């Protein structure tokens, strides 16, 4: 297992449509293990493969530390996940992203979703998720389609957020010098 480097907004891999997984082998399972380890190390609740520079349709989510009472908030790894149903009911909640550290904003999404995909061994998985679990799944599935949460906020808020991000980037670059 290894902690991989997380890539930040501005890296083109985060904007690519990630590749469908066709081979369920030891390499895929190693990727999933690294993703979990990287996510825990960064204290995140979800991670998508493009966030470690791998343009493939794999996501991991683990809310157990944030929402211990929710029996559905299990540790999940999903390969080729697709949202096959979403509730009409929407909810607004603040989201952050390990690829945009230091920034968050309120994003409106369906409260509940059904997600279908495979586990890392190639078995079919169907998940019914609500609330934070549903939100995390949608956020990570967005990543494999090249979508970031900043794309789902109003243009005005996005401009403000991107301005803040430029400042954070400039400060990081200055520190690295
Ligand atoms: Ni994210």
Angle at 61 between CA 66 and CA 108, to 5 degrees: 75
* Residue ranges with CB less than 5 Å from ion ligand 1: 97
Q: Is the pLDDT of residue 48 over 90?
A: yes
84-129 tens-digit pLDDT: 999 999 999 999 999 999 999 999 999 999 999 999 999 999 999 9
pTM of the model: 0.94
Expressed in angstroms and rounded, the spacing between residue 151 Cα and the centre of ligand 1 is 12
**What's the farthest any 2 CA atoms get from each other in the chain?**
49
**C-alpha atoms less than 13 angstroms from C-alpha of 150 in its C-beta half-sphere:** 24
134-161 tens-digit pLDDT: 999 999 999 999 999 999 999 999 999 9
Expressed in angstroms and rounded, the spacing between residue 59 Cα and the centre of ligand 1 is 10
The catalytic residues are 140
Note the CATH architecture for domain 12-87+111-148. Alpha-Beta Complex (3.90)
Expressed in angstroms and rounded, the spacing between residue 122 Cα and the centre of ligand 1 is 24
Closest CA to 162 of 84, 89, 105: 105
Q: Where are the domains of the chain?
A: 12-87+111-148
The dihedrals phi and psi of 120, each to the nearest 5 degrees, come to: -65, -10
Expressed in angstroms and rounded, the spacing between residue 71 Cα and the centre of ligand 1 is 23
């Amino acid at each position: 297992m290894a902690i991989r480097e997380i890539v930040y907004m501005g890296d083109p891999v985060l904007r690519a449509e990630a590749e469908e997984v066709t081979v369920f082998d030891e390499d895929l399972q190693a990727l999933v293990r690294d993703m979990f380890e990287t996510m825990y190390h960064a204290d995140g609740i979800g991670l998508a493969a493009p966030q470690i520079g791998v343009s493939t349709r794999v996501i991991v989510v683990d809310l157990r530390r944030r929402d211990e009472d929710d029996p559905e908030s299990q540790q999940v790894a999903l390969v080729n996940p697709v949202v096959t149903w979403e509730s009409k009911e929407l909810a607004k909640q603040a989201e952050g992203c390990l690829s945009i550290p230091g920034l968050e904003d309120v994003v409106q999404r369906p409260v509940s979703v059904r997600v279908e995909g495979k586990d890392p061994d190639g078995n079919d998985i169907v998940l019914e998720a609500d609330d934070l679990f549903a939100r995390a799944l949608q956020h990570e599935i967005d990543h494999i389609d090249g979508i970031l949460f900043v794309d789902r906020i109003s243009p005005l808020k996005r401009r403000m957020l991107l301005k803040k991000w430029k400042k954070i980037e400039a400060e990081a670059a200055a520190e690295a010098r």
